[in-house]
Structure 1
Amino acid sequence: MRLISYAEAINEATFQLMDKNPSVFVMGLGVTDKSGVFGTTLKARAKFPDRVIGLPIAENAMTGIALGAAAGGMRPIFTHQRMDFLPMAMDQIINHLAKWKFSMGGKGSAPVVIRAIIGQGVGGGWGQACQHAQSLQAIFAHIPGLQVVMPYTAFDAKGMLIASVCNDAPVIFIEHRHLHGLKGDVPRKMYEVQLGKAAKLRTGKDVTIVGLSAMNIKIKIAVDELSKYGFDAEWIDLRSLKPWDEKMILKSVRKTKRLIVADTGHKSFGAGSEIIATLAEKLAGKLKGVKRISLPDMPVPAGPTIEKEYYPCANDIINAVFEMYGKKPVSNREYMKDSEPEVDFKEAF
């Protein structure tokens, strides 16, 4: 067993991809800085300084350059330190990158990987506020031609980044900042984790709980606590939002008859809405309970006090299960200490 952090897994995957394939290069604001985008570009920059390219703040133009490079046979990894910066590149991403293969009659490809880091705390605490803490995955998952992945573990971070870069479709690769410090068993060798395939992290029979990205931290606490009350929850890490593993979720919910989706984004028209709607169509009349655990429909606030009220916690998941079974809510414990990974926030970028 070799334990390394999520950020180290990204760092290693990037280096191995560039070492194996000279067409892979890294571009983005801050990729050449001493911190190397939270330590994720350091190894590649040290070995391949000419292929790790720092960029100005011009997201739309730089996305066009990435597309042009990909159309010419390169495989760029375009790194954004905040997902909030992607709206500045929407024309290139939605109107060109996503539609490139379709516009070329299926004969062209645009293998661009866009790394987008979500900045908010899982339960608050970083204070990045409404313009540096958004989870916009649902917007990109709505666009035909784009793939959207959200790895939770260090193992998946490495394997899914390698799979994304080796893929011929453009991929929005979303990392939660609070996952960067989490450690896991990660092989040294190169390997791929299949995009579109979920991971069952716990088998159960009473309720299916599906998590995206860092919401799995909350779910882990919730399922352990639920077992103390006699509830046997099945926990699935979705890993890939588009394509998503409809087959695994359907199989699980046919058994449990109840579904909770915990998402880092807003509730309205979000990932949870799409997953639940799909299952409602496929399992009409068979569902006994569904629930979305997500952010409220208001901008992200700043400051630990209001963040604590804004972000969902493990207790919300626990009470959702209790509600499905007609039981009174448990005491309003936040599980904050246990749910927050140790991440050293010394600087904003």
Structure 2
Amino acid sequence: MSRQAVPISPEAGRAFPSGRAAARRRVAGLLALGLLLLGCMLFGVVAGARPIPIATTWQAIVHFDPANSDHLLVRHLRIPRTLLAVVVGAALGTAGAILQALTRNPLADPGILGINAGAAVAIAAAIALVGVTDVTAYMAFGLLGAALAGAGVYLLGNLSRNGAEVRIVLAGAALTVVLLSLAQIVLVNSDEHVFDQFRHWSVGSLQGRGYGVLYPVLALTVLGLAIALSLAKALDTAALGADLTKALGGNPLRIWGMSALAVIVLSGAATAAAGPIGFVGLTAPHIARLITGPGHRWLLPYAIAIAALLTVAADALGRIVAPPGEVGVGIMVALMGGPFFIALVRRHRISKL
């Protein structure tokens, strides 16, 4: 029996570059993104309603003086906030890349599993019913709510049957509507201070987040990134659909389960700490895919770097566009990412998943 040749288009050849030269270009691209990210992080530390010179910033790091207000601002506010922006961006970018592969939906982002809505209900209840006011404390409630909502969508999707991608999206959309309605019920029947606290979280903000928030989010994000990177090859087959995944020797149920765990950990931690930040998980994977092609071995590291860069830049710019106040990172990401993503779609053909 003769084998039938499968034609390969020129676009496919460009989408799957191979060889040492391509690997060197990708490594060089990651290094360039890393240097750009470091520059944005430095800008994020020195910029704000109260600008701090680079020399003073360096002195605050190497020769900390607790009597110097600039040193206190750098060490206890600017540095942990900037590092948290990197961690939150990396978590959301990775979660978005995983969801776009699993659902084969180019518009998928971390909110698709009801994670944002689950965190919203939990935080609204914590503020209204328990009286939680500390950012670190209600982050724990938000993480719990996000995890329960993600697990609920995972179970409702009934992954043992065909068509899990569609059911996951529908279950996530339905649960999101229900949970957001519950959050509104809690807020409407609460005092004004409850609404004010919840509003500050719901717009997406890193203001006031210190090391107490950074450390647990960092630990969970490292765990989620480790799971995600270990699934890089499996995600390549999962993006082809359950039938082809089985034909290639993969286990769709295991891939979905591990991927859902990674998404819940990454998105839950980021959302609980900073609020629902849109466009990062949607935009970063598409930009990475235009650079690297659909292979997740390189797509995931690029999505991590691009998402972190976007979040740090948005947070830093939000502190200088409306002095002496600031614009939340969630709003700034939408203002920056929305027009950029539209221009990206108009100029380039977004890769099919």
TM-score by length of 1: 0.25
Greater RCO (Cα-Cα under 8 Å, separation 6 or more): 2
Larger radius of gyration: 2
From the two aligned structures, give the one with the greater helix fraction.
2
TM-score by length of 2: 0.24
